[in-house]
């Protein structure tokens, strides 16, 4: 069971596990909030080892029904409110989903005697890391600085409590920023790509010198695969990237992808967030010791991502006008009847299957994940062979 499975990172893990392990039955559990879409896994609908269950992690009835219906033995808990900007103005919603929702998941998992509960957290729980400081280990003190990060740290406290009190078999994962196709365009890379595609300026918060470490979504899916198969119960794993990039440098790289010059005044600046961490830095050696490695160079991953959004971004998500503002406003999209969505979606997916896909690393269990032009089901949505 993968909560939030119709969202960004979790949908990559859904597709990866469905296509790589046909002996596993993967259940995507999602309430279909604004940043999730059935488009993210529609290509799996014909797969016999895939199911979708619409439900809310904050509903014990929904969670219990899914666990019982599919006899779930393992949970990846991705579902969360994750956009920092929104957490400053809607912090109650973050507490409801990220803290209470995690509590519901833990209690239901305990009742169902789940064998593994893998909780997805974030590197932001550590708080800001000075430039001259060493990368933070999993044992470092948590010091979140914004409501989103605080809610994720609080959720971790519950996860640890269920491990200590009830011996619930848990693992916690803290990852750097993940990017790639299928991310809702409230986050910086898809947002700026969509703005530039529209011929509009990009707007940076503050001076733009804040840095983040970026990990391609395919590499993130491989990391979760590694943790699923090789991780130890009761442990915490950082998923770290070697690509630390400032927002200003990121803008320069995006402009280059569009063939635009910085001298043409494509970048402007706005007031900063109430508080904006200058950088995050985690040490990922513990996970690398299990055999995982980062395979996708940032330049290659960025090009794949930009190409995808230029082709499919706004068709994939519908009207995103409010999302592209400097400080976005989210409105729940109307439900689109299946018969109206199907024709356009099939066209998009058909085009995507023919799109570029990159190197084919081995999966976490050592099996080479090969694809070829005839294996269309493995060529998901224009991404590389991580699926």
Query: Does the annotation count 179 as an active-site position?
Result: no
Helix axes 188-197, 247-257, angle to 10 degrees: 40
Active site residue 100: no
d(CA 335, CA 88): 27
With vertex at residue 302, the alpha carbon angle to CA 147 and CA 218, rounded to the nearest 5 degrees, is 75
3-state helix/strand/coil string of the chain? CEECCCCHHHHHHHHHHHHHCCCCCEEEEECCCCCCCHHHCHHHCCCCCEEEEECCCCCHHHHHHHHHHHCCCEEEECCCCCCHHHHHHCHHHHHHHHHHHHHHHHHHHHHHCCCEEEEECCHHHHCCCCCCCCCECCCCCCCCCCHHHHHHHHHHHHHHHHHHHHCCCEEEEEECEEECCCCCCCCHHHHHHHHHHCCCCEEEECCCCCEEEEEEHHHHHHHHHHHHHHCCCCCEEEECCCCEEEHHHHHHHHHHHCCCCHHHCCEEEECCCCCCCCCCCECCHHHHCCCCCCCCCHHHHHHHHHHHHHHHHHHHHCCCCHHHCCCCCCCCCCCCCHHHHHHHHHHHHHHHCCCCCCCCCECCCCCECCCCCCCHHHCHHHCCCCC
Q: Which of 148, 280, 309, 312 does the annotation list as catalytic?
A: 148
| Residues shown for the chain | 387
Tell me whether residue 33 is one of the annotated catalytic residues.
no
CB 51 within 8 A of CB 70: yes
Structure-token match 């930009």, residue found: 306
124, 156, 186, 219: the active-site residue = 124
Calpha distance 288→226 (Å, rounded): 9
Q: Which of 56, 123, 277, 381 is catalytic?
A: 123
What are the residue numbers of the active site? 123-124, 148
């Amino acid at each position: 069971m993968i909560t939030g499975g119709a969202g960004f990172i979790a949908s990559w893990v859904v597709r990866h596990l469905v296509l790589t392990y046909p002996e596993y039955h993967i259940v995507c559990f999602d309430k279909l909030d604004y940043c999730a879409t059935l488009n993210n896994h529609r290509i799996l609908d014909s797969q016999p080892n895939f199911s979708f269950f619409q439900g809310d992690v904050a509903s014990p009835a929904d969670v219990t029904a899914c666990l019982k219906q599919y006899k779930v033995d393992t949970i990846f808990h991705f579902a969360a409110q994750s956009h920092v900007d929104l957490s400053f103005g809607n912090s109650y919603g973050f507490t409801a989903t990220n803290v209470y929702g995690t509590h519901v998941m833990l209690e239901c998992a305990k009742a169902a005697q789940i064998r593994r509960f893998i909780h997805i957290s974030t590197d932001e729980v550590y708080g800001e890391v000075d430039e001259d400081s060493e990368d933070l280990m999993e044992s470092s003190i948590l010091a979140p600085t914004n409501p989103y990060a605080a809610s994720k740290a609080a959720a971790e406290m519950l996860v640890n409590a269920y491990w200590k009190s009830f011996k619930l078999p848990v693992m916690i994962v803290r990852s750097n920023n993940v990017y790639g196709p299928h991310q809702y365009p409230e986050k910086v890379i898809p947002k700026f790509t969509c703005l530039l595609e529209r011929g509009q300026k990009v707007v940076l918060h503050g001076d733009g010198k804040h840095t983040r470490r970026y990990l391609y979504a395919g590499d993130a899916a491989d990391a979760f695969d590694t943790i699923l198969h090789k991780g130890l119960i009761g442990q915490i794993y950082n998923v770290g990237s070697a690509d630390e990039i400032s927002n200003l440098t990121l803008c320069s790289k995006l402009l280059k992808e569009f063939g635009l010059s910085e001298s043409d005044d494509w970048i402007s600046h706005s007031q900063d967030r109430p508080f904006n961490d200058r950088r995050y830095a985690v040490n990922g050696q513990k996970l690398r010791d299990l055999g995982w490695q980062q395979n996708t160079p940032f330049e290659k991953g960025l090009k794949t991502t930009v190409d995808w959004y230029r082709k499919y971004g706004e068709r994939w998500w519908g009207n995103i006008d409010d999302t592209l503002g400097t400080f976005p406003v989210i409105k729940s999209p109307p439900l689109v009847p299946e018969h109206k969505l199907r024709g356009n979606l099939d066209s998009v997916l058909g085009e995507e299957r023919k799109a570029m896909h990159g190197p084919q690393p081995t999966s976490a269990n050592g099996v080479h994940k090969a694809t070829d032009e005839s294996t269309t089901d493995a060529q998901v949505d224009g991404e590389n062979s991580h699926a």
